[in-house]
Chains A and B, each alone.
Chain A
Amino acid sequence: MSERITLALPSRGVLAGPTIDFLRDCGLAVHKPNPRQYTGSVRTLPGVDVLFQRVKDVVAKVEAGTVELGIAGYDLVRELESDDLLTINDQLGYGHCQLQLAVPTTWVDVQGMADLVDVAQDFRQYRHRNMRVATNFNHLARQFLHAHGLHHYSLVRAEGAIEAAPTLGYADCVIDLSQTGTTLRENHLRPLPDGTLLKSQATLIGNRGRLQALGQGPRKLLRTLLELTDAALQGRERYLLSANLAGADPERLARQIMDNPVTRGLEGPTLAPTWNDAGQRGYAVTLVISADQLLPAVEYLRSIGGRQASARPLRHVFLEESPSWLRLQRLLDDSPQS
């Protein structure tokens, strides 16, 4: 039975820095004694070891059961697709990108996947070969192409920049990751509107067998880790809003606040009595609200007698239960080994 948990993290690439920042914001700062070392630790959670790997190897190591946990892009997780690989949280909120099918901008006759299916038939009819698709995501590409009725193609594994393959002439179109679309545009490629294979971001993954075998101690560590990451993610999306409201009837104020979904908060407001210089009774209200509803909430509070309001971002919001912990338990319960 394993007594420690190893968390594999990307050592380089676009996810490496943001992952360290994310864990720090969760209260799980990673200590790496030497930049050239491949191991580290989490001081707030002794018992958690950190292993730095190339992002592809992170997924491979978790899948193989060499480590218990890892953080990698959702695209790589889906590409590997294995029963042993559990997706604990696929929305860590950074490293966003899309896996897209893109064709040369010169293909003005191709507006969507239906056109591409027709073009693939043209390749067979007039050029006596399959359409060539450059990608490093063979599994996802096959699934996607077949699902769109495109059955005759050849996948080309591109060395170096995939986007250059159609220009260099060794592929006809590409399936590749794109963050902003700039690289595609610069290579005279255009993503098809219905050509998005998946939207990806950083994802926390685990190995089914290793997590099932955890002893009581490491299991507690794991729960803490998930609690902290969930709380940080919840906090990211919320503000603590305080406002002074005029009015003498706290129940009426509470009802008005509760009646509006924008100000209902997590479980309703906290009200505390206040007195102003003129000796008038009022109430201070404290709410936890969605970040994108801050201004509508302030407007509404003003409309029901709000005078001053202050807001500050939250670092952690703990819900009744950690969603990731619940999800993981469900995934492990579904397991044939459990």
Chain B
Amino acid sequence: MTAQFLDRDRPVSLLRDHMAGYGYQLLETPVVGDASLFLTRAGDRMISRLFTFGRGGRELALRPEFTSQAARHYVRGNFCGVQRWQFAGQVFEESPQGASRACQKFSFGAELFGLKGPAADAEIMALALTSLQELDLSNWRLVVGHIGLMRQMLAQFALDERTERFLINNLRNLRQHGTDHVLQLFEARLAGATESTSLTPLLSAETVDETALAQLLRTSLHGTAMGGRDHRDIARRMLRKRQRMSERDQVARAMELLHRLCQLSLPADLAFAALTEITPEEARPILHDWQENLALLGSYGLSPERIVIQPDLARDRDYYSGMVFEIHGADGRHLGGGGRYDELLVFMGAPEPVPAVGFACWLESLDAARSATPAVKSWSILLDGNNSFAATRLAQLLRSGGLPAELGNVLQADSLVTDADGGVRWRGQVFSLDEPTRLLEALRRV
């Protein structure tokens, strides 16, 4: 990022007031933190772009987002019940073009802790969208998915938890390269065969259990180096690998379902009709809540025509567990997004999941998307060498009236020109400095 002149105060102040109106309190977080915090349940793409560096044996990172810091603050600060926090500040991601180049963006957003259900989800979505409107950006499109629904639909296949997460993380691969490719990745990463050893026949026996296998490993493995694992750890993992290998058919069927979900990128009413058909009975309550969540957006005056359902939308963070959304501009630009992440707080030390939902947007993306918005006009007042006092007085009058003004020594088409008698000439009209109301009104009309 190069140096540039930016007015961040105005939008940030607008957003702060707007979110305060919903009860959100400003939370400041450090720019630098332990990398492990940001790595907790971050997705692979996010991790590969984390800007890390070492100091004194610690691996540190520039914050790539605020959610992890807010979640840890909630847990470590022993907060309980409903907490509404807003944030605004710079976030950093390593640019894919250069390993040592930081990519800096100004992010704002909010986190809502302790409240679950469609109303909470709708509040965060609405807060995100109305924040854009506060910044004069009303041409948005909302894409919504639901990780929780997808998980519940996958539950019928009784997959290992890591297999399930693997499939959700590979939705993009599934969409782009098909099921065979993802199945190959699954075998390479999670279900690869164990080296053939004297234990192989035993592993192939259906009856072997963890205790028996651990005992066998204890008597047959003679190495003294165990690291921090014991024979039971190794036995458990061998059995789990065997289990995953036997799940290949279920994985293939689960992928077929996900593949069908990938096809359902439709406006809300059409998508829900199609989803109802393929959603198993036990997942219906989630679907119902989701519908209610989106219907509630209407109460905030947000148009349902701008909502697209994409059931397989999985954002780049691994911590989402329920509804997820992305906001796009008219030109398809990604402006921000968010979702529900109830399980993240457990990884931060909470004894049980804490309802949590949040969003983040980037000001740079909004600036780019709002190209139609005219820049704030600054009135030019001619300074001709003889009118310093009158010109300065006029500039201050305009500023105190809420109109930006600047003194200049070049006459422009729209310049305001003062004279020694306290008159102001503008666009062929003459106004009086002693009675500025008429002038201010005329300028405001422009």
Contact = CB atoms under 8 A, between A and B. Distances in A.
Contact of B217 (A108, A118, A166, A188): A108
A152 B227 contact: no
Contacts of A139: 54
Nearest to A113: B189
A122 B237 CA distance: 8
A263 B386 CA distance: 92
Given A104-B223, A106-B221, A157-B57, A126 B39 contact: no
Contact of B59 (A123, A131, A142): A142
A118 B162 contact: yes
Nearest to A114: B189
Contacts of B162: 118, 121
A21 interface: no
A286 B327 CA distance: 74
B228 A117 contact: no
Given A117-B189, A151-B47, A173-B227, A109 B36 contact: no
A127 B57 CA distance: 23
A172 B192 contact: no
Given A114-B189, A117-B189, A142-B59, A172 B228 contact: yes
Nearest to A190: B223
B204 to A, nearest CB: 15
B224 A167 contact: yes
A122 B233 contact: yes
Contact of A108 (B54, B193, B195): B195
Given A126-B233, A171-B227, A108 B39 contact: no
Interface string B220-250: 0101111111010110111001000000000
B3 interface: no
A65 interface: no
B225 A108 contact: no
Interface in B164-199: 188-190, 192-195, 197, 199
B156 to A, nearest CB: 24
Contacts of B223: 104-106, 188
Contacts of A138: 54, 57
Contacts of A118: 162, 189-190, 237
A111 B227 contact: no
A186 to B, nearest CB: 11
B52 interface: yes
Nearest to A167: B225
Contacts of B40: 152
B17 interface: no
B39 A151 contact: yes
A146 B48 contact: yes
A173 to B, nearest CB: 6
B230 to A, nearest CB: 10
Contacts of B189: 114, 117-118, 149
Contacts of B42: 151
B194 A108 contact: yes
Given A119-B237, A142-B59, A105 B225 contact: yes
Contact of A142 (B52, B195, B236): B52
A38 interface: no
Contact of A104 (B193, B197, B217, B227): B227
A187 interface: yes
B178 to A, nearest CB: 21
Interface string A118-136: 1101110011011110000
A107 interface: yes
A157 B59 CA distance: 13
A181 interface: no
A118 B10 CA distance: 48
Query: Which of A122, A123, A187: most chain B CB closer than 10 A?
Result: A122
B226 A106 contact: yes
Nearest to B38: A151
Contacts of B188: 114
A172 B229 contact: yes
Interface in A91-117: 103-109, 111-112, 114-115, 117
A189 interface: yes
A108 B192 contact: no
Contacts of A155: 57, 59
B44 interface: yes
A166 B238 contact: no
Contacts of A103: 227
B263 to A, nearest CB: 28
A319 B88 CA distance: 61
A107 B229 contact: yes
Contacts of B199: 108
Interface in B39-73: 39-40, 42, 44, 47-48, 52, 54, 57, 59
A33 interface: no
Given A111-B194, A149-B44, A106 B39 contact: no
A122 to B, nearest CB: 6
Given A108-B194, A121-B162, A142-B59, A166 B234 contact: no
Contacts of A119: 229, 237
A160 interface: no
A114 B54 contact: no
Nearest to A143: B99
A111 B233 contact: no
B36 A166 contact: no
Given A109-B237, A122-B237, A172 B227 contact: yes
Highest count of chain B CB atoms <10 Å: which of A118, A130, A138, A155: A118
A117 B234 CA distance: 14
Interface in A292-337: none
Contacts of B52: 142
Interface string A219-252: 0000000000000000000000000000000000
Contacts of A157: 57
Contacts of A149: 44, 189
A139 B99 CA distance: 13
A111 B228 contact: no
Contacts of B221: 105-106, 108
A166 B237 contact: no
A143 to B, nearest CB: 9
A119 B229 CA distance: 9
Contacts of B228: 123, 127, 129, 131-132, 169, 172
B26 to A, nearest CB: 30
Interface string A167-208: 101011100000000000001110000000000000000000
Given A105-B223, A167-B225, A115 B192 contact: yes
Contact of B225 (A106, A117, A122): A106
Given A106-B223, A151-B39, A166-B225, 6 more contacts: A114-B188, A138-B54, A138-B57, A149-B189, A166-B227, A187-B225
Rank and list the top 3 A-B pairs by shortest CB-CB distance, nearest first. A172-B227, A188-B223, A104-B225
5 contacts: A103-B227, A104-B229, A114-B192, A142-B54, A172-B227
Interface of B: 36, 39-40, 42, 44, 47-48, 52, 54, 57, 59, 162, 188-190, 192-195, 197, 199, 217, 221, 223-229, 231, 233-234, 236-238, 241
